[in-house]
Amino acid sequence: MKLSIIVPMYDEQESLDLFFNEIYRVLNQLDKYSYEIICVDDGSKDLTFSLLKNYAAENKDIKIISFSRNFGKEKAMRAGLEACVGDAAIIADVDLQDPLEIILEFVKKWEEGYENVYGVRSDRQSDAWFKRFSANCFYKSVNKISDSPIYQNTGDFRLIDRKVIDAIKEIKDRRPFMKYIYNWSGYKSVGVNYARQKRAAGKTKFNYWKLWNFALDGITASSTLPLRIWTYFGFCIAFCSFLYGGYIVAKTVIQGIDMPGYASTFTVVLFFGGVQLICLGVIGEYIGRILEETRRRPEYIVRESVNF
């Protein structure tokens, strides 16, 4: 049996030594399995790729896929999953925020028959409070509207069985939201708790703007409710305006005509202008996704692969 470790990396020259030390320490405890470590270099501009090549020259279990530019972590994970040959794949970050020790527990659960073993960040004290807060809001709202759950406090750190890998390979979203896709595919799932650590070296690659766009991708990938909700909103407004119209007619009949009402009219016009723009923006989000799908561009471009 073979394990494939998939590690997306983007400008991670500081983390590599620490990562390889730790992953070999863990893999040595799993001596009944053979393994491959697939490093996906997501268009790094620093020395990540050349350092990786040194490692790969000494050790044939280390395989490298190097992208022609930065395509993002989701695409990097996909590339790893498409290239891996193991009976199970483990996806881990290179920065050791997800303690690699937990892989031992993942494998134990896999041996018990679970096919999708995901890590749950039960302790996120190492994340800034605003990140925790915004992540919390995201999971709460997306899970209300999504057609299959995205588990709270779950990242990409997980083990998936070959069956899940093959199922995921069939899902050809141009803008994949992997956390959703893993669960969408079904299969027997279980969570393993762990405490998220501070970054071992280097800096985070996700700023808040990137995270916001990532959240939008998560919502549009997993639900069409934002498109449909406007119908109901329109119905409510129509109903209210019907009542209000009746009120005005009655008032005119009883009290006669009066002219004031400029401020309220103006406010209502502005409000509905805003609502219509939001509504157009939502439709635009989805049309943008449709456009991307119809272009059928490759998801990512590999410049070089090593040891495959």
- Counting contacts by CB under 6 A, is residue 36 touching ligand UDP? no
Strands 88-91, 154-161: pairing kind: antiparallel
| Shortest distance (Å) from residue 42 CB to Mg ion | 13
Site for ligand UDP in 39-58 (CB under 6 A): 42
Name the binder of 125 from Mg ion, ligand UDP, none, CB < 5-8 A by kind. none
Instruction: Give whichever of 27 and 226 is closer to ligand UDP, judged by the CB atom.
Output: 27
Q: Which of 33, 206, 233, 308 binds ligand UDP (CB under 6 A)?
A: 206
The reply to whether 76 sits near ligand UDP by the rule CB under 6 A is yes
Q: Distance between CA atoms of 35 and 156, rounded to whole angstroms? A: 19
d(CA 252, CA 243): 14
Contact 193, 122 (CB under 8 A): yes
Question: Whole-number minimum distance, CB 93 to ligand UDP, in Å?
Answer: 4
Helices (H), the chain: 16-28, 48-58, 73-83, 102-111, 129-145, 162-170, 178-184, 208-222, 225-255, 262-295
Q: Name the 3-class secondary structure at 177.
A: coil
User: Residue 37, class by beta-carbon neighbours within 10 Å (0-12 exposed, 13-18 middle, 19+ buried)?
Assistant: buried
Q: Which stretch binds ligand UDP (CB under 6 A): 20-28, 53-61, 178-186, 201-209?
A: 201-209
Tell me: does residue 12 bind ligand UDP (CB under 6 A).
yes
Query: Is residue 97 close enough to count as binding ligand UDP by CB under 6 A?
Result: yes
Nearer to Mg ion, 164 or 178 (CB): 178
Q: Which stretch binds Mg ion (CB under 5 A): 51-59, 96-104, 130-138, 185-193?
A: 96-104
Considering the rule CB under 6 A, would residue 23 count as an interface residue with ligand UDP? no
Q: Indicate which of ligand UDP, Mg ion, none lies near residue 64 (CB less than 5 to 8 Å, by partner kind).
A: none
Mapped onto helix, strand or coil, the DSSP state of residue 71 is coil
* Segment near ligand UDP (CB under 6 A); pick from 93-101, 140-148, 218-226, 286-294: 93-101
114 contacts 188 by C-beta, under 8 angstroms: yes
C-beta closer to ligand UDP: residue 198 or 228: 198
Structure-token pair, residue 180: 């959703």
Q: How far apart are CA 64 and CA 41, in angstroms?
A: 7
First vs last Cα of the chain: how many Å apart? 18
Interface with Mg ion, residue 98, by CB under 5 A: no
Tell me how far, at minimum, the Cβ of 116 lies from ligand UDP, in Å: 20
Closest to 180 measured CA to CA, from 92, 116, 229: 116
Interface pick for ligand UDP out of 13, 70, 148, 307 (rule CB under 6 A): 70
Residues that bind ligand UDP (CB under 6 A): 8-10, 12, 42, 70, 72-73, 76, 93-95, 97, 204-206
